[in-house]
A and B are shown apart, each in its own frame.
Chain A
Amino acid sequence: MDATAGAGPRLRARRRRYGEDVVKGVLAVCALISVATTVGIVIALFVPAYEFFQDISIVDFLTGTDWSPLFEPAHFGVLQLVAGTLLVTAVAALVALPLGLGSAIFLSEYASDRVRGFLKPALEILAGIPTIVFGYFALTFVTPLLRDIGIQVDIFNTLSAGLVMGVYLIPTVASLSEDAMGAVPRDLRDGAYALGSTKVQVATRIVVPAAVSGIVASFVLGISRAIGETMIVLIAMGQQPNLTVDPREAAEAMTAFIAATGAGDVPTGSLEYKTIFAVGATLFLMTFVMNIVAIRLVRKYREVYE
Chain B
Amino acid sequence: MAGTRRKTHGMRQIAKKSILLALLLVLTAALSGCGGDGRGDDEAGDTTTTETSAGGEGLSGRIQADGSSTVGPFTTAAAERFREVEPDVQVTVGVSGTGGGFERFCRGETDLSNASRPIKDEEAAICKDAGIEYVEFQVANDALTVVVNKDNDWVDCLTVEQLKMIWEPASKVKSWQDVDPKFPDEKLALFGAGTDSGTFDYFTDEINGEEGASRSDYSASEDDNNTVTGVSGEKGGLGYFGFSYFEENQDTLKALEIDGGDGCVAPSVENAQNGTYTPLSRPLFIYAKKKSFSRPEVAAFVEYALNNETEIAEAAQYVPLTDEQLEKATTDFEAAVEEAG
Contact = CB atoms under 8 A, between A and B. Distances in A.
A154 B10 contact: no
Contacts of B189: 154-155, 250
B217 A241 contact: yes
Contacts of A265: 96-97, 99-100, 103, 196
A141 to B, nearest CB: 13
A72 B212 contact: yes
A240 B3 contact: no
A203 to B, nearest CB: 14
A2 B100 CA distance: 71
B152 interface: no
Nearest to B217: A240
Nearest to A72: B212
Given A154-B189, A155-B233, A185-B3, A68 B216 contact: yes
A71 B213 CA distance: 7
Contacts of B169: 71-73
B216 A239 contact: no
B159 interface: no
A155 B237 contact: yes
Contact of B195 (A66, A71, A75, A179): A71
Interface string B116-135: 00000000000000000000
A103 interface: no
A151 B99 CA distance: 41
A260 interface: yes
B10 A239 contact: no
B30 interface: no
Interface in A202-251: 238-242, 250
B2 interface: yes
Nearest to B234: A155
A266 B196 contact: yes
Contact of A154 (B6, B212, B213, B234): B234
Nearest to A187: B3
Nearest to B218: A240
A65 B209 CA distance: 26
Given A264-B97, A265-B97, A186 B1 contact: yes
Contacts of B2: 186
| Chief secondary structure at chain A's binding surface | loop
A97 interface: no
A156 interface: yes
Interface string B273-313: 00000000000000000000000000000000000000000
A182 B6 CA distance: 7
Contact of A72 (B3, B103, B210): B210
B194 interface: yes
B222 A264 contact: yes
A7 interface: no
A47 interface: no
B230 A156 contact: yes
A262 B99 CA distance: 15
B7 A71 contact: no
A71 B200 CA distance: 10
A139 interface: yes
B171 interface: no
A304 interface: no
Contacts of A260: 194, 221-222
Interface in B202-224: 210, 212-214, 216-222
A155 B252 CA distance: 14
A183 interface: yes
A72 B213 contact: yes
Contacts of A186: 1-4
B249 interface: no
A39 interface: no
B237 A242 contact: no
A185 B2 CA distance: 9
A144 to B, nearest CB: 8
A142 B220 CA distance: 23
A169 to B, nearest CB: 20
Contact of A156 (B1, B217, B219): B219
A238 B97 contact: no
Given A179-B10, A182-B10, A186-B3, A241 B216 contact: yes
A68 B169 CA distance: 11
A183 B9 CA distance: 11
A186 to B, nearest CB: 3
Contacts of B222: 260, 263-264
B226 interface: yes
B3 A184 contact: yes
A150 B296 CA distance: 63
A70 interface: yes
A179 B13 CA distance: 12
B234 A71 contact: no
B3 A267 contact: no
Nearest to B187: A154
A265 B195 CA distance: 9
Contacts of B6: 182
28 contacts: A70-B196, A71-B169, A71-B195, A71-B214, A72-B210, A72-B214, A139-B229, A143-B233, A155-B233, A182-B3, A182-B7, A182-B10, A184-B3, A185-B3, A185-B4, A186-B1, A186-B3, A186-B4, A239-B226, A240-B219, A241-B217, A242-B217, A250-B189, A263-B222, A264-B194, A265-B97, A266-B196, A267-B99
Given A67-B216, A156-B230, A239-B220, 18 more contacts: A66-B216, A70-B216, A71-B195, A71-B216, A72-B212, A139-B229, A182-B6, A184-B3, A185-B3, A186-B1, A239-B226, A240-B217, A240-B220, A250-B189, A260-B221, A260-B222, A264-B194, A265-B103
Q: Which 7 A-B pairs have the closest CB atoms?
A: A155-B233, A186-B3, A265-B100, A68-B216, A70-B195, A72-B212, A265-B96
